[in-house]
Amino acid sequence: MPKVDETRLEIDLKALTHNYQLLAQKLPEQTQIMGVVKAFAYGTDSITIGKKLVDLGATHLAVAYIEEGMRFRRRGIEVPILVFYPQLEDLPKLLEYNLIPSVYNFHFLRKLKTALVEEDINNFPIHIKINTGMNRLGFDLKDVDELQNELTSGNYFKLEGVFSHLSSAGMPSEDDFTQAQINKFTGVVEAFRKNVNPNFIAHLCNSSGILSHPEAAFDMVRAGIALYGYGNNPEEQKELQIVASLKTRIAQLREIPKGASVGYDRKFKAEKTSKIATLPLGYADGISRTYGNQKAEVLIRGKKAPIVGNVCMDTMMVDVTEIECQEGDEVLVFGKAHTALDFDKEKQSIPYELITRISQRVTRVVLED
C-alpha cells in the first residue's frame, strides 16, 4: 500500500529518453544497448522503465534475479533478459520464462546442464561472465580452456554472450588498470570466437565504461546508473538528466526556543530560536538514519534546509529558520534542481544506494514524455 500522495517519487520518461539517446550517440552505430533494470529499475518503476527502454531501442534488459525477470515476462516484455545472479532453486522458472542466465562458475554450469538434460532442452542460450579484475563473480582466466571444453561437449548450450565488468572505469587514476581489463577481455573474446562460437555478443562496458571508455564498446554495452541521470564527474552530470525526483510536503511547522531539542535522543539542540519543519518521510521510506544530524539537506522554496536530529521511521525534521515557508509547501528531497549528490552533502553514500532504497510504499508518479 503506497503512502499518501504528498510523498511521491516522480519518474521523468523525457529525461530517460534524453539519457538513452545521449549514451547511444557516444557508441558505434552497430553497438547494442542492454538496459539494466534490476532493483525495480534502480528504485524507480521496473515495468514502466523497461517498456520505455525497449521502445527506445534497447535490444536486451538485465535484472539481478530470476523473479525480477519473470515480472517482465508476465507484463509482455519479450526481449532477451539477462539474469545476473540466477539461483539454482529457481532454475525451473528460468527455463519456463525463457530467461538468459549469467553463468559465472562451474557449479552452476553443471547444475544447469543437468536441468537441460532432464527437460530435453538443447542449445539453451547463456552468457558467460569472465573475471578480469573485479574479483566479484566470473570465471578466472585460468578456467577458460576447461570452460571451452564444457561448452563444446554436447549441444546443451548456445553461447550467446561473453561479458566482464569494469571495476574503476570512471576513475582516470585507474586508467591503466581499466586498460588491462579491456586487454584481458579482448583475449578471452578472441579465444571463444575461435573455439566455441564466432557469433556471440561480447559486452564489457557499464555506465562508467560507456562515458569514459566508449572505445571498449564491443558488441553491446550495459547501461545502468547513467540512464537514471548520474555520471562520474561534474561534466558528465551536466549532460545527463535526473529521472527520479523524491518530493514531499511540510506536515507541520513549529518554533522552538534556544536550548530546545528535536527528535529521538535529543541529537539536535537549538542554539537560537529556530523554526523546524516535520516531513512525512523517514527511514522506512529509504532515508537512512545516517543522513540525520545535518549530514543531508532538502530543498524548500529554492533554499537548502538541513535535516536535524535523528531521522525517524516515518518522519524527519529539517531546520527552516531562514526560509519563508508554510505547512503544505512542497519539499524536494532529491531530483533535478537538487540531486542525490546535493542531498548527501557529506557524501555518506552514492546515488545508487540512495535511489534504490526508496521504499515501495512511496507512491510512484510517471511523467510521460
Chain centre to alpha carbon of residue 290: 21
- Residue 78's SS3 state is coil
The residue from 214, 236, 258 where one domain ends is 236
Residue 39 and residue 153 share a domain: yes
User: What single DSSP character describes residue 156?
Assistant: S
Q: Give the range of the structural domain holding residue 343, as residue numbers without chain letter.
A: 244-367
3 state DSSP class of 94: helix
Active-site residue flag, 267: no
Is residue 283 among the annotated active site residues? Answer: no
C-alpha cell at 187: 583475449
Phi, psi for residue 140 in degrees, rounded to 5: -75, 160
β-bridge mates for residue 163, sequence order:
129, 203
Identified catalytic residue from 38, 51, 247, 275: 38
Known binding positions for substrate: 136, 313
Same domain, 155 and 268: no
- Report pLDDT digits (tens) over 200-238: 999 999 999 999 999 999 999 999 999 999 998 888 999
**How many angstroms separate the CA atoms of 179 and 217, rounded?**
13
Distances (CA, A) of 193 to 159, 197, 200: 10, 5, 8
Structural domain tally of the chain? 2
pLDDT, one tens digit per residue, over 141-194 is 999 999 999 999 989 999 999 999 999 999 999 999 999 999 999 999 999 999
In sequence order, the 6+-apart residues with CB closer than 8 A to the CB of 147 are: 106, 109, 128, 139
Residues 81-129: tens digit of each pLDDT: 999 999 999 999 999 999 999 999 999 999 999 999 999 999 999 999 9
Of 236, 266, 287, at which residue does a domain stop? 236
Output the furthest CA–CA distance in the chain (Å, rounded). 78
Residue 24: inside a domain, yes or no?
no
Domain harbouring 316, CATH code: 2.40.37.10
In a domain, 174, yes or no: yes
Distance CA 34, CA 17 (A): 14
Q: What is the spatial distance between Cα 257 and Cα 179, in angstroms, rounded to a whole number? A: 59
Chain segment 7-18, per-residue pLDDT in tens: 999 999 999 999
pLDDT at 233: 87
**This prediction's pTM:** 0.94
Statement to judge: residues 68 and 199 lie in one domain: yes
Check whether residue 300 and residue 213 sit in a common domain: no
